[in-house]
Amino acid sequence: MKKTILLAAAVAAAMGASAGDYTKYVNPMIGTGAIEGGLYGNSYPGATVPFGMVQLSPDTQPAPDWYDCSGYRDIDADVHGFTHTRLSGTGACDLIDVCFFPTSSDRAWGRFTHDREEARPGYYAVDLQEENIKAELTATKRVGVHRYTYPAGAARRVRLDMDHSAVKGSWDRKIINAQIRQVAPNAVEGYRVITGWAKLRKVYFYAEFSEPIESIDLSDGGRHEPGADVINGRELRAMIDFAKSDKPLEVKVGISGVSCENAKENLEAEAAGKSFDMIAQEADAAWEKQLSAVDIDADDDTKTVFYTALYHALIQPNVFNDVNGQYMAPDYTVATVPAGENQYTTFSLWDTYRATHPLYTLLAPKENADFVNSMIRHCEVYGYLPIWHLWGQDNYCMIGNHAIPVIVDAVLKGTPGIDAERAYDAVKRSATVSHPNSPYKVWEEKGYMPENVQTQSVSISLEMAFDDWCVAQLAKALGKEADYEHFMRRAYNIDNLYDAECGFFAPKDDKGEWIRPFDPLKHGANGGNPFTEGNAWQYYWYVPQDIDHLIELTGGKKAFEAKLDEFFTLDEQPEEMNGNVSGLIGQYAHGNEPSHHAAYLYNYVGRPDKSAKYLSKIMTEMYTNNSSGLVGNDDCGQMSAWYVFSALGFYPVNPASGEYDLGVPAVEHAVVHLPNGNTLEVKAPRKRADYTNPKEVRFNGKLLKDRKISHKDILAGGTLEFKMSK
């Protein structure tokens, strides 16, 4: 079913405020369902603010898992509570903390339908059918706010479930300890220590109700403690009763990774004295400010796809420090962030270094500096940069060391607020200290990863080579010539795995022998195969540091163009497909990240028309305004950031090079309002709909023959004009 969203008139009626010009084009339901044969986008429709700690949304399963990683699925029909933390668009589930559910009986779930559900940035509402209770949600950065409207004369109860989580057992998930305590006539607080994808997470909350609590029943599994005001255990729940009234019941829930006291302080600083409607209006205004960075002229569906993509890209990373600056450090001590900064978490770096972080560098440099400094602080405590950073810890998911290109990109583009020498110490250390999937001693000795020593060897070798190239560029900028030469040599370790006989990057063993048989179509997952979440075709193009060198390896421009043509047209698939590979055009898989830059590579052989052909196809067919509007996991905004860049006509093929490769805009006109006060105007007027080929591109009147534009030129402002032809 195609989702409906709450737009301007309905918002005004529900909140007493009119919607702005940007948030009305956001459809939070995009990506909550699956395209046939593809992955769920794993997006969620609930309430959050840009980069907020709280993501308050319904869970449509009693224990979310791999196929409902954000807690919500379009095809489900039940709500099992509203939790305050979750991940957006990931391929694995975690968080799902502090669950509230309104009831007039002892229910723990309720039926819902999409026609009685509303969602927009910072606001979500749903009717729970059996008991006719309306639940509304909004949020500040660190506070989730609920409003429950019960039928006249009905009992008003709230179920607090501290046992509710992502499925137990997955990632060895279990609750180690928890507490619920009534601390005031209208307030409860508590915590839980839980381990899972992120290890040993401590989550604290402080909840304040708009009315006094009439009674509270605390339980730990089957053990009830009538009359008690505190309970400790592992399966904790509370049933909280309030006096009958026709008034809606509101509850504000502050959360923290440090303490209940900090959770309370977060609530008082961000939500005290404010009504639900006021907080919802402030959330809308926060999104208006962020989304107003770009103005586009397009039809309503294209606007909705574009602004929803920008919205999804700005949901994370998530602020991790409390209002007093404290946060839980990787060694489980309490640290304090420097004044004027924030500590962030949720870095899905294998995904987001490609386009999402370059988008932050362009549109949100202050936040991006905080992201980078958060990673550096992590390195200084933990010993190396994060691989996949979640609730302040590293879960080591995926391969490579892609905090490196994020940091190098930010420093070399001149992002204020980053100490370049401190940043270099972090990236060099992380490129020389072995950690999971990165045995650097082997890398130095062999010049490649042998598959019988390190599985996923080809993918890891290609990705580490790019990271090394990034370290080299920062070394060069800082005058560290010996380091520059060392890391540049490692950046071309890829040559040691190029098999000219089969024409692919292929695996070797530790004796230097090619491993046979070799099937370039065979898919790998996350171990037991030389390739990660893909095959040799999808990884062939992963030399973003030097595409011209890859062209030479392939046999020249004609051979390279022919191989690209085969890549986009070869429909043959192996019997066993990796579940992350979706959105297929031949072997190209837009639903997963390794392919994301490939359509732009036609530019390097003088065929931008072919780039435009495939880019147009991807943008129009794989991004749509409905719940199935993403062909793969959004992966913390990477799928969305790809669209934002590509719809504007340029993309960071090498995300740390300081250059963007030109494609074909999805819009005829756009204005990017840059943080420095300048503007970039994009023009791509079309005489007819089939004018999708950018015959030439000019910037401020100058012809861009190589189809590239620099970050420096964009920041200076001007007009990027595409002359479109049939």
Tens of pLDDT, residue by residue over 492-550, are: 999 999 999 999 999 999 999 999 999 999 999 999 999 999 999 999 999 999 999 99
With CA atoms as reference, report the closest residue to 38 among 67, 76, 77, 5. Answer: 67
Percent of the chain's residues with pLDDT above 70: 97
Q: Using the Cα atoms of residue 374, residue 375, residue 380 and residue 386 in order, give the sign of their dihedral.
A: positive
The whole-number average pLDDT for the span 54-69 is 96
Q: What's the CA dihedral at 196, 201, 206, 210 to 10 degrees?
A: -30
Backbone angles phi, psi at 131, to 5 degrees: -110, 5
Q: What average pLDDT does the structure give for the chain?
A: 95
User: In the structure, what pLDDT confidence band is assigned to residue 578 with cuts at 50, 70 and 90?
Assistant: confident
Say what the pTM is. Answer: 0.96
| Per-residue pLDDT, 24 | 97
- Between CA 59 and CA 62 the distance in angstroms is 7
Kindly report the CATH number that applies to the domain delimited by 8-291: 2.70.98.10
| Per-residue pLDDT, 598 | 98
| Per-residue pLDDT, 2 | 36
User: In the structure, what pLDDT confidence band is assigned to residue 716 with cuts at 50, 70 and 90?
Assistant: very high
pLDDT digits (tens, 9 = 90+) for 4-27: 333 333 333 333 333 459 999 999
- How is residue 505 written in tokens? 């990057």
Side-chain half-sphere of 164: how many Cα atoms within 13 Å? Answer: 28
Q: What does DSSP say about strands 679-683 and 718-725: parallel, antiparallel, or unpaired?
A: parallel
The whole-number average pLDDT for the span 213-217 is 97
Helices and strands in the chain: count of H runs, count of E runs: 18, 38
* Fold of domain 294-725: GH92 mannosidase fold (3.30.2080)
- Between CA 539 and CA 531 the distance in angstroms is 8
**HEC profile for 135-152?**
EEEEECCCEEEEEEECCC
Cβ atoms of 28 and 44 closer than 8 Å: yes
Cβ atoms of 362 and 714 closer than 8 Å: yes
pLDDT digits (tens, 9 = 90+) for 92-126: 999 999 999 999 999 999 999 999 999 999 999 99
Percent of the chain's residues with pLDDT above 90: 93
- How is residue 530 written in tokens? 């030389």
The whole-number average pLDDT for the span 556-573 is 97
The whole-number average pLDDT for the span 245-267 is 98
- How is residue 435 written in tokens? 């950690």
Cis peptide before 517 (omega within 30 of 0): yes
The whole-number average pLDDT for the span 393-401 is 96
Cis peptide before 317 (omega within 30 of 0): yes
> Domain-by-domain residue ranges, the chain?
8-291, 294-725
| Per-residue pLDDT, 37 | 60
pLDDT digits (tens, 9 = 90+) for 593-605: 999 999 999 999 9
pLDDT digits (tens, 9 = 90+) for 274-304: 999 999 999 999 999 999 999 999 999 999 9
pLDDT digits (tens, 9 = 90+) for 534-557: 999 999 999 999 999 999 999 999
| Per-residue pLDDT, 3 | 39
pLDDT at 234 over 70: yes
Helix residue spans in 556-607 (DSSP H)? 557-569
User: In the structure, what pLDDT confidence band is assigned to residue 38 with cuts at 50, 70 and 90?
Assistant: low
| Per-residue pLDDT, 5 | 39
SS3 659: strand
- Between CA 190 and CA 182 the distance in angstroms is 9
Weakest mean pLDDT among 87-96, 291-300, 404-413, 685-694: 685-694
pLDDT at 572 over 80: yes
Length of the chain: 726
The whole-number average pLDDT for the span 387-416 is 98
Q: Do the two domains 8-291 and 294-725 of this chain adopt the same fold?
A: no
SS3 691: coil
| Per-residue pLDDT, 9 | 34
Cβ atoms of 535 and 594 closer than 8 Å: no
pLDDT at 648 over 90: yes
Q: What is the largest CA-CA distance in the chain?
A: 80
| Per-residue pLDDT, 580 | 85
